[in-house]
Amino acid sequence: RGGQAEREVPFAQPGSLTRVYAVASGKGGVGKSSITANLAASLADQGLKVGVVDADIYGFSIPRMLGVTRQPTQVDEMILPPVAHEVKVISIGMFVPGNQPVVWRGPMLHRALQQFLADVFWGDLDVLLLDLPPGTGDIAISVAQLIPTSELLVVTTPQMAAAEVAERAGSIAAQTHQRIVGVIENMSWLELPDGTRQELFGAGGGKTVSESLTRTIGAEVPLLGQVPIDVTLREGADTGTPVVLGHPDSPAAVAIRGIAKGL
Ligand code: ADP
């Protein structure tokens, strides 16, 4: 809509009842997208109206994880998002040709995010989840500018190297004045057949991030939960049925549903 005035972001309007969570991590591969997809499916399963914006330019994986097969459609000047497992989904991956590598500059990303928020017909959502790219990039600042009331969820693994970068991703909230809802530790352990827990990535990352962010922000940043390594989670992500729906009694599903209930 070149030349026309930008539409307002509905979630930023006074009186908006939609809770907006930006899911952040320090580095890639910690399971941020898996957690986002499963939180979304879990919240929708609770009966809430849920949307997801996949803004992870480097690894847009939400459509696959949620089993989205359709493309967005356009009606008048609005974009209708495809729906999967009762979740409305828009991904940056739906707007890039083929498997072309994408070079996004800060202003382009800001504009794309603005359009995802304002030009997509979301309807009345209870919850909007934003899957951010890993790190402390421009897009985290854009989210804060576009939706000042958005809140951060920080995902880390137990590993100290991951925790340190997660802290940095979270501490951006000190500058943007966003609330940090809490920290989610993923890949916390693998449960062995004899019931013992093997801590493949060490232990303590989630607790460390929660404590250090509590100090940095000056407000309690709780550890919301620990999600174990679970083969059914990975399989569900690959086949488009989130583990919280496909294997609701698996350890990862139980952990993620518990976190979703507390949000
Ligand atoms: P990120 O979004 O942080 O880059 P992903 O969500 O894409 O990470 O996860 C990276 C890989 O690890 C994916 O293949 C995903 O299926 C797998 N994975 C994530 N969390 C778990 C878990 N708790 N158990 C098993 N596999 C997981």
Across 65-91, average pLDDT: 95
Three-class SS of residue 119?
coil
Query: What pTM did the predictor assign?
Result: 0.95
Confirm or deny that 30 is annotated as ligand binding: yes
DSSP, collapsed to helix, strand or coil, labels residue 78 as strand
The residue nearest atom 12 of ligand 1, judged by CA position, is: 31
Q: Is 47 annotated as a binding residue?
A: no
* Lowest model confidence (mean pLDDT) among 5-14, 76-85, 121-130, 148-157: 5-14
Is residue 4 exposed (0-12), middle (13-18) or buried (19+ Cβ within 10 Å)?
A: exposed
Q: Confidence class of residue 1 from pLDDT cuts 50, 70 and 90? A: very low
Task: Note whether residue 2 is domain-resident.
Answer: no
**Ligand 1 geometric centre to CA of 238 (Å):** 10
Whether 154 contacts 24, CB under 8 Å: yes
Q: Give the pLDDT mean for 184-193.
A: 96
Cα–Cα distance between 223 and 184 in angstroms, integer? 6
Residues 72, 90: contact at Cβ < 8 Å?
yes
Give the closest residue (by CA) to ligand 1 atom 10: 29
Q: Is residue 3 part of a domain?
A: no
Structural domain count, the chain: 1
The answer to the question of residue 137 being in a domain is: yes
Task: Confirm whether 142 is domain-assigned.
Answer: yes
pLDDT in tens, 121-179: 999 999 999 999 898 778 888 999 999 999 999 999 999 988 889 888 888 888 899 99
Distance 230 CA to ligand 1 centre (A): 10
Are 23 and 52 in contact, with CB atoms under 8 Å apart?
no
Residue 98 pLDDT more than 80?
A: no
Residue 148 CA to ligand 1 centre (angstroms)? 29
- The total number of residues shown for the chain amounts to 263
Pick the residue whose CA is nearest to atom 24 on ligand 1. Answer: 229
183 in a domain, yes or no? yes
Here the CATH number for the domain that contains residue 154 is 3.40.50.300
Q: How far is 46 from 196, CA to CA, in rounded Å?
A: 31
Atom number in ligand 1 closest to CA 238: 16
- Measure 225 CA to ligand 1 centroid, in angstroms: 16
Measured CA to CA, the distance from residue 22 to residue 72 in angstroms comes to 22
User: How many Å apart are CA 223 and CA 80, to the nearest integer?
Assistant: 35
**189 falls within a domain:** yes
Residue 179: strand pairing partners: 151
| 31 belongs to an annotated ligand binding site | yes
At 197, is the secondary structure helix, strand, or coil?
strand
pLDDT in tens, 101-114: 667 777 888 898 99
Instruction: State the pLDDT at residue 236.
Output: 97
Q: Which residues contact 45 (CB under 8 A, 6 or more apart)?
A: 85, 86, 244, 245
Q: For residues 37 and 213, what is the distance between their CA atoms, to the nearest angstrom?
A: 24
Look at residue 61 in the predicted model and tell me its pLDDT.
92
Gap between the Cα atoms of 107 and 151, Å rounded: 22
pLDDT for residue 48 is more than 50: yes
| Spacing, Cα 218 to ligand 1 middle (Å) | 31
Q: What percent of the chain has pLDDT over 90?
A: 73
Cβ neighbours of residue 95 under 8 Å, at least 6 residues apart?
112
3-state secondary structure of 259: helix
Q: Which of 45-59, 86-100, 187-201, 205-219 has the lowest mean pLDDT?
A: 86-100
Q: Provide residues with CB under 6 Å of ligand 1.
A: 25, 28-34, 59, 61, 186-187, 227, 229-230, 233-234, 237, 252
User: If pLDDT is split at 50, 70 and 90, which confidence band does 67 have?
Assistant: very high
Q: Identify which has the larger pLDDT, 222 or 134.
A: 222
Tens of pLDDT, residue by residue over 248-259, are 999 999 999 999
* pLDDT tier, 99 (very low <50, low <70, confident <90, very high otherwise): low
> In percent, how much of the chain has pLDDT > 70?
97
Residue 32 CA, ligand 1 centroid: distance in Å? 7
Give me the mean pLDDT over the 84-89 stretch.
98
Please report the atom of ligand 1 found closest to the CA of residue 35: 6
Report whether 27 belongs to an annotated binding site: yes
- In this predicted structure, what is the pLDDT of residue 104? 74
- For residue 192, tell me if it sits in a domain: yes
Range of the domain at 212: 10-262
Tell me what pLDDT residue 101 has.
66
The position carrying tokens 């304002």 is 118
Q: Tell me which of 156, 234, 250 to substitute to probe ligand 1's pocket, judged by most ligand atoms within 8 Å of the beta carbon.
A: 234
Amino acid identity for residue 6 in this structure: E
